Chain A
Amino acid sequence: MTEPIIKFDKVIKRFDTFTVINELDFEVQPGEKVTIIGPSGSGKSTVLRILMTLEPISGGVVWVDGEPLWHEKAADGSLKPASEAHLHRMREKMGMVFQQFNLFPHMTVRRNITEAPTQVLGVPKAEARERADQLLDMVGLRDHADKYPHQLSGGQQQRVGIARALAMRPKIMLFDEPTSALDPELVGEVLGVIRRLAEEHDLTMLLVTHEMNFARQISDRVCFFDQGKVLEQGKPEDLFTAPKEERTREFLKAVLEGN
């Protein structure tokens, strides 16, 4: 096995007194497509938010691409809390797609995609625009480059969200319930884009979703989260057809019956 690109080492996350992530050990290999499923409040979205540095951790160490995410190595080799500069550098490795899309409403679709590459990576404007148009091509929205987000459907907005994250050329893509805010008939177009991404790129992908069929099709591994820990994980064909844990069986039964 190669060195994991993501490694949670006894990570704890508390909100006040409520422990969301409880001494979590969790690894993802480079290029691996991992889906996280589990009941709400199980901490699955928090895992992504910790990785994107949107939520600081309360304990343990998170490793990304061989470096501690929330810590820096001090001169004596011990770990000290990360500076903003360190977090800035680490964030470059990751991109995130949000449940609520979070596009910038006052910017055109193309500007949404070029803003960060030009400002953060220093990509020349013309080059960034060209790349934005390529990405829009990829998500099937080339004709919508000059529109504003409110002129697009939810599914289109989320596809822009994916293009915007990809424009930063991340090694790791984090999808936080990317289709949960969408009308049912728009889910397919977004999943289609994610599926193509999974099939055609060596990106490491971490996906939190309630779309079990989709998880089954694209994942190398499915992790069932419960009470801030990985209760059970395995290949999708194993986990979905023969779950070992009672909690997993209950959850899958409830979710699949709901569908």
Chain B
Amino acid sequence: MLFGIAWDTSSNWTFAVSILPILLRGLWVTVQATVLGFFIALVLGLVWAALKMVPLKIVSWPAAVITEFIRDTPLLVQLFFLYYVLPEYGIIFPAFLTGALALGIQYSAYTAEVYRAGLQAIARGQHEAARALNLKSVRTFTHIILPQAVPRIVPAMGNYLVSIMKDVPILSVVTVLEMLNVAQIIGDRTFNYLVPLSMVGGIYLIMTLVASAGVRFVDRALPKRGIPLK
């Protein structure tokens, strides 16, 4: 029994059917961690990108060093650091939040590059024309630069969304009851790993396909007329 739901081990098929609701509980946690981690990666990545594009070295350099450091150390190390070291200094987050934070921080270093590439792909002439026409800098960013940058950014961000989802099982090592952890517990208790782990794989496949289709849908729905895309 897990989450108050019992399983039926009489055959692999009845077993699969009976544990599906339990795995879906785990999936719900996986989805939540994905969404929260992605949100943190999007926001924090934009902050890094903005800092890295500041012409002052004292601002851009630390941001570059930090993101390089994040990218060059394993997610698992960062996760352990947040989970085991921060509490020693009195900073205690629930496991789920720690996990989502670790995912978000790790991927923010990658999304920062996506933002930067997307924004810098806009020709300098666009900024100059906006300035010559006396458009305010906020208006220039929101109505001239961003509409041209977003279609370049969305596909790459979609790939990172899928990657984050596939990295969520790492959170199982800090006791987060996401889908893989749930499957492993079921396996430990029933000595049948084949069924729950196969189901996790299958569900992941479906989720990845759904997420990719979602990203493609968003990408297609974006207004792209006239924007030169590579």
Contacts and interface: CB of A to CB of B under 8 A. Distances in A.
A150 B128 contact: no
A103 B136 CA distance: 17
Given A91-B134, A116-B134, A106 B226 contact: yes
Contacts of B131: 52-54, 91
A53 B128 CA distance: 9
A80 interface: no
Contacts of B29: none
Contacts of A54: 128, 131-132
A168 interface: yes
Nearest to A111: B143
A144 to B, nearest CB: 13
A75 interface: no
Interface string A96-135: 1010101111110000000110011000000000000000
Contact of B223 (A91, A106, A115): A106
A164 interface: yes
Interface string A125-155: 0000000000000000000000011110000
Contacts of A43: none
Given A104-B126, A105-B228, A106-B147, A164 B223 contact: no
B129 interface: yes
A102 B126 contact: yes
- Looking at A53, A91, A106, A107, the one whose CB has the most chain B CB atoms below 10 A away is A106
Given A102-B126, A106-B148, A52 B132 contact: yes
Contact of A88 (B134, B223, B226): B134
A92 interface: yes
A94 B131 CA distance: 11
A95 interface: yes
A115 B132 CA distance: 13
Shortest Cβ-Cβ A-B pairs, 3 listed: A148-B226, A116-B133, A102-B129
14 contacts: A52-B128, A98-B132, A102-B126, A107-B226, A115-B133, A115-B135, A115-B143, A119-B139, A120-B136, A148-B225, A150-B226, A151-B226, A168-B133, A168-B134
